[in-house]
Amino acid sequence: MDLRQLEIIRAIAEAGSFTAAGHKLHVSQSAISRQILLLEDELKEPVFLRVGRRIRITPAGESLLQLSHRVFQDLKDTTAGITDSQESLRGTVRLLGGMTVCLYVFPPLLTELKRQHPEIDLKLMSGSSEQCLARLRSGAGDLALLTLPVDQPDLVTVPVLQEELLVVTAAKHPLSRKRKIVPQDLVRQPFVLFEPGSNTRRAVDEFFMTARIEPQIVMETENVEIIKALVRNGLGITVIPYQAVARDVTSGQLFCARIEGRSLVRETGWIYPKMSRTPRAVQEVIKAFEKVRPKLKLAP
């Protein structure tokens, strides 16, 4: 059996006859028949049944037809992959993510992508997880970096980051003078938190529940800069990823600390539509991210 015979089987199945398959492949009908006879002699099984002027594919022929689809798709994908790898990436790549990701992860990632592929056109869109997933499904986005879990059968999930969630206060808040912060220290504290529904907020709510804390919530917003501004001015405290406050802590504007005896972590991953071949744009974005990941400030 060879690729030419598989190509002939597919042509016959699609065209409906040996003669039409010959026209499609630009060979004679007798050449088509000869190849099928050779194949049937090798397999000791009929591939097509002749019923008058019509043909019907046999179970053995159907198996070979499915094999031909897989083989030629693999050949196409492999050839495209080799060709793609030899060229600089062009066209538009649309990245999706929440505000924290857009502020602290995407800028160094985009810098690396533009360095590797100067002709690439990058578009960023910020939104909730639900909005980002809807854009992926509608074709309005290519790749999203979202807080996990995202368990959707039509989407691929690739975990890439684990970020610490820390208690953050104003620099002169009474908690900033403690050597250790324990869950009981957070009782009756006013909180500024991410909005309900996000995976980050769910992780924080689970902590409150297990620690038996009923937080006094001053404000809920998806805007991490608003959260930091309120905390900086002493209107509340918060629990957010370290990379969102790393510079503020270094400059002395905010204070952050782990909660003694508790591990608060959120996992982030790439999400993209499931398809037979991962687009090169998606592969290149993930590859560039691996180069910048060690530079991200994920923990104090």
Token pair listed for 24: 């499609």
Question: Looking at the structure, do residues 40 and 113 belong to the same domain, yes or no?
Answer: no
Mean per-residue pLDDT for 227-254? 96
Domain range for 37: 3-85
Residue-wise pLDDT for 24-54, tens only, equals: 899 999 999 999 999 999 999 999 998 777 8
Residue 76 has pLDDT above 80, yes or no: no
Tell which of 36, 51, 85 closes a domain. 85
- 81 lies in the same domain as 155: no
Same-domain check for residues 122 and 267: yes
Verify that 194 and 170 share a domain, yes or no: yes
71 with 103, same domain?
no
User: Among 85, 107, 140, where does a domain finish?
Assistant: 85
CA atoms within a 13 Å half-sphere pointing along the CA-CB vector of 196? 3
What's the CATH code of the domain at 114? 3.40.190.290
My answer on whether 68 and 105 are in the same domain is: no
Summarize the confidence of residues 84-106 as an average pLDDT. Answer: 84
**Contact yes or no for 71/6 (Cβ under 8 A):** yes
Q: How many independent structural domains does the chain possess?
A: 2
Phi, psi of 209 (to 5 degrees): -65, -45
Residue 45 sits in the same domain as residue 186:
no
Q: What is the pLDDT of residue 179?
A: 86
Task: Answer yes or no: is pLDDT of 288 > 80.
Answer: yes
| pTM of the full structure | 0.69
Indicate if 179 and 275 belong to the same structural domain: yes
> Quick one: 189 and 123 in the same domain?
yes
| Cα 59 from Cα 39, distance rounded (Å) | 14
Q: Are strands 190-193 and 155-170 parallel, antiparallel or unpaired?
A: unpaired
165 with 78, same domain: the answer is: no
Per-residue pLDDT tens digits for 144-154: 999 999 999 99
CATH at residue 32: 1.10.10.10
Q: How far is CA 284 from CA 77, 114, 120, 268, in A?
A: 16, 11, 11, 18
**Listed residues 43, 66, 85: the one ending a domain:** 85
180 and 258 belong to one structural domain:
yes
pLDDT tens-place string over residues 168-193: 999 999 999 998 999 999 999 999 99
Quick one: 272 and 203 in the same domain? yes
pLDDT digits (tens, 9 = 90+) for 208-240: 999 999 999 999 999 999 999 999 999 999 999
